[in-house]
Amino acid sequence: MGTNTANVLKFTDGNFDAEVIKSDIPVLVDFWAEWCGPCRLMGPILDELATTYAGKLKIGKLNVDENQESPSQFGVMNIPTMIVFKNGKEAERFVGAMSKNDLQKKIDKAL
């Protein structure tokens, strides 16, 4: 399950500021964990959407077990939680697994 496609980035507490907060395009961060079933369902969907939105939206995953600073900073209580950041600020937040279609609609609205 740890496979990352070229399009889905790996965010950590260490690169969060540079990759997400200072990004010049919007960023969707998927807060997830290896043991979370619904999180694993979202993996392939995010891979596909990363291709769809290439150049318009960065998509990446942050493992909450390995990185605890960022999730607590943004009050992430349940996973999967996906947060869209625009200009370094939280613009939109979605909690729970959803279909590609539903997620795409939410992203389009956020962008």
| Bridge partners (DSSP) listed for residue 94 | 82
Count the alpha carbons within 13 Å of 59 in the hemisphere toward its beta carbon. 26
- Nearest one of 14, 1, 8, 20 to 89, comparing CA atoms: 20
What are the structure tokens assigned to 44, written together? 């392939």
Catalytic one among 33, 36, 91, 95?
Answer: 36
**Among 9, 39, 42, 107, which one carries the catalytic annotation?**
39
| Residue 10 among the catalytic residues | no
User: CA distances (Å), 35 to each of 3, 11, 99, in order?
Assistant: 15, 18, 20
* Dist. CA 77–CA 31, nearest whole Å: 10
Catalytic, 34? Answer: no
Q: Which residues are catalytic?
A: 36, 39
